[in-house]
Structure 1
Amino acid sequence: MPSHRYPCTGPVPTTGFGAFLEAELGAPRANLRAFAQELGERFEAPQLCLVNSGSSANLAAAMALGERLGVRPGEASGRPAVALSAGFTFPTTMSSLQTAGFRVELVDTEPGAFNLDPAALERAITPDTKLVCVTHFLGYPAALEAIVEIARAHDLLILQDGCETLDLRVPTAEGARPAHALGDLLTWSFYHPHHLSSFGGGAVVCPPGPEGERWRQLVESITHWGRACTCHYDPARCSAPAGMHHNFHYLRRGHNLEMSELNACFGRFGLRTWERDEARRKAHHATLSAALAGIEGVRVHPAPANSGSAFVFPLTLEAPRFSATAVAELCPRLDARGVEIRSLMGGVIQDQPAYAEVPDHGLERCRELARRSFFVGIHHTLEAGAVEAVASILREELSP
């Protein structure tokens, strides 16, 4: 791999963490409780379960949704339980759905955009469809209100992969609302290049209210070996039998997916600078947008409106000015100038060898967008001068 002067992300700041850790690392699960509470207060998410990665969040959520639907992975059954997902779906999201026992089928994206097309979704629904998986790809909100309306009309559950987002708000008739307030379960990732780092971690976010409490109890059980005991987060609600087997009473298949106390402490450390970091990401996006606006054939995807920052800064090189191979030809030129660019997370998931057999309902728009698009970073660890330099280089390379 080349050493880039202008990478997509920089190193996550750790200065001062030693002192923070010494002051805050106390009783077992103290930081887990504090981190969950602080996240809930900051992002209007009172019901969430902390796990050790975004991928684990997707696995736990998929298993919880599967249990609600009566899906039994690894067991022969009649008709398959189908989950519909967009062509831009992350590998561990796909694997989680498959592990939970769903048959995944892919649906095309909106015209010129990254996320699930509501009209294509509705056409793909059959009596076997049980779940809709919505990926808010690259931190851009999907048309969630329309998707929820379709899903509810067909009695479908909804999983939102929000791992490339955090403070995501979606437009509704009632104004912008947190994405996790719609649908059933949403996942976050605290992997170090994402919006908030815990140096490994994630969360399953449940909807507000009593229904969210029921979801949380189910997800907490799945992430703690499948046991009944809830004493680790809410002793008052614990229904496990008393006695020496209290901690060893298992209701379902589960895993040990809990976030570590150390990761939770680092997540709290990073959350202290959230407003500053969020402002920096938005400023980087604005810098690139201003520099690249108006170039013939270059489509700049606007920042999400009335929402948190995007994950990265994507660009699409459109016909007729640019050929279908323009991005591939651009990459080595930018490499030589120290600028790191990346594809849309590897493109259409079906084009990866591991998922070549996944059926689809037509992916023409998704595949064309993947072929013609790339992204550069806007992470808060990047300095303003570096982003300005990237903007200048891109303008030079892409101008007629």
Structure 2
Amino acid sequence: MAVSSGTAALHLSLLACGIGPGDEVLVPAFTFPATANVVELAGARPVLVDVDPESFNLDPDRLEAALTPRTRAIMPVHLFGNPAEMEAILALAGKHGLAVIEDAAGAFGSRGRDRACGSFGAAGCFSFHPRKLITTGEGGLVVTGDPALADRLRRLRNHGLDAAGAFQAAGFNYRMTELAAALGLNQLPEVDRMLAERQELAAAYRSRLAGLPGLAFQRVAGDSLSAWQAFVVRIDGRENRPLVAELKRAGVEANIGTYAIHRLDYYARKYGYRPEDYPNADRLYRFCLALPFYNGIPAPDLEVSARALADRLAGPV
């Protein structure tokens, strides 16, 4: 069902799954803050789990150690469109009776083991923000195969109103506007073409940047398809913020990858996190770089971006 944002999709999914005060939800330590924020807004505690430094996704091997009697759910993120290791995550969730809510904000069109991201857990949440594969300006989507969960989601999305016109809960106005929906629907026929183009763009960057000192590409499993919501690399030994500033002076709109939640002021103050608590997330926060990447990027612009980065790492290519 369509909602007003990807954040709204996550928030509704938590509430519809019964997550609330006293509960804990496992989330990756390296992600956009909305993933953790919605857990806080539900009255629960986001429990951070370190990530894999190669895939940039939640490390399933670290989940068991983060469990407590209060753990109710796991919220894996398919970061930058890269499918998370859902088989291992689902196995642990099933063993402990936990809900799985997928943050597939940047993974519309991504597939893991020939299955669409967002279809593995109790609910899958997508974003249609301008930086995503398709956009409605602002907007989001929740998918679920559970009819009872779908009913709760619909009520909470629309002020708690049910199909009979009765207000059954204290809900929200998280509806998508008709204008936004029309904008999104108009792009759906182009999704396959846009996905194919992004595979080509990612391959072009990889061919131009391969072998540069310290540079590592995000690892995508051989049986997975990333939608490449962003093209993010890790450059060990080069702090990303000074490098971003250098590239911007050269006319390249690079940016950091995303955020280490334990480094954010709110979470560091509230939970007493230290940078060394999540070493892989901290490493990615410091050394990941997002390069200009979007459907329709002119080939000369991609070439300029690749050359500008290469010049700063190893001299001209």
TM-score (norm 2): 0.92
- State the SS of the aligned residue for 1:390: helix
Q: Which of 252, 259, 269 is residue 339 of structure 1 equivalent to?
A: 252
Q: Does 1:316 align with 2:234?
A: yes
Q: Does 1:376 align with 2:291?
A: yes
Q: Confirm or deny: 8 A CA contact 2:260 2:285 kept in the other structure.
A: yes
d(CA) in 2 for partners of 1:304, 1:193: 23
- For 2:25, the equivalent position in structure 1 comes to 83
Counterpart amino acid of 2:248? D
Q: Does 1:219 align with 2:153?
A: yes
Higher Rg of the two aligned structures: 1
d(CA) in 1 for partners of 2:248, 2:53: 30
- For 1:125, the equivalent position in structure 2 comes to 67
Counterpart amino acid of 1:264? A
d(CA) in 2 for partners of 1:342, 1:164: 17
d(CA) in 2 for partners of 1:112, 1:302: 5
1:118 positional shift: 0.9
What's the CA shift string for 1:352-389, capped at 9, x where partnerless? 12322246694111111211111113210422221122
- For 1:105, the equivalent position in structure 2 comes to 47
d(CA) in 2 for partners of 1:195, 1:151: 29
Greater relative contact order (Cα < 8 A, sep 6+):
1
- For 2:138, the equivalent position in structure 1 comes to 200
- State the SS of the aligned residue for 1:335: helix
Q: Confirm or deny: 8 A CA contact 2:119 2:143 kept in the other structure.
A: no
Q: Confirm or deny: 8 A CA contact 2:55 2:220 kept in the other structure.
A: no
1:109 positional shift: 0.6
1:302 positional shift: 4.5
1:180 positional shift: 2.6
* Higher mean C-alpha displacement, 353-362 vs 121-130: 353-362
d(CA) in 1 for partners of 2:266, 2:87: 32
Q: Confirm or deny: 8 A CA contact 1:169 1:177 kept in the other structure.
A: yes
d(CA) in 1 for partners of 2:205, 2:61: 32
- 1:34-113 → structure 2 map (5 Å cutoff): 49-65=1-17, 67=18, 71=20, 73=21, 80-113=22-55
- 1:1-400 → structure 2 map (5 Å cutoff): 49-65=1-17, 67=18, 71=20, 73=21, 80-171=22-113, 176-207=114-145, 212-229=146-163, 240=164, 247=165, 249-302=166-219, 305=222, 306-318=224-236, 322-323=237-238, 325=239, 327-345=240-258, 347-356=259-268, 357-358=270-271, 362-399=277-314
1:330 positional shift: 1.8
d(CA) in 1 for partners of 2:108, 2:30: 19
Change (3 A) 1:122 1:359: farther
- State the SS of the aligned residue for 1:310: coil
Q: Confirm or deny: 8 A CA contact 2:252 2:292 kept in the other structure.
A: no
d(CA) in 1 for partners of 2:271, 2:254: 28
d(CA) in 1 for partners of 2:230, 2:292: 5
Unmatched runs of 5 consecutive residues or more in structure 2: none
Q: Confirm or deny: 8 A CA contact 2:131 2:229 kept in the other structure.
A: no
1:224 positional shift: 0.9
What's the CA shift string for 1:281-325, capped at 9, x where partnerless? 22111110000111222112245644242111111112xxx35x3
d(CA) in 1 for partners of 2:168, 2:150: 15
- State the SS of the aligned residue for 1:134: coil
Count of residues paired in the alignment: 311
What's the CA shift string for 1:336-359, capped at 9, x where partnerless? 1100111122x2012112322246
Q: Confirm or deny: 8 A CA contact 1:292 1:300 kept in the other structure.
A: no
d(CA) in 2 for partners of 1:353, 1:127: 27
d(CA) in 1 for partners of 2:201, 2:170: 44
- State the SS of the aligned residue for 2:102: strand
Change (3 A) 1:274 1:250: same
How large is the RMSD of aligned CA atoms in angstroms?
Answer: 1.9
d(CA) in 2 for partners of 1:342, 1:302: 19
1:274 positional shift: 1.7
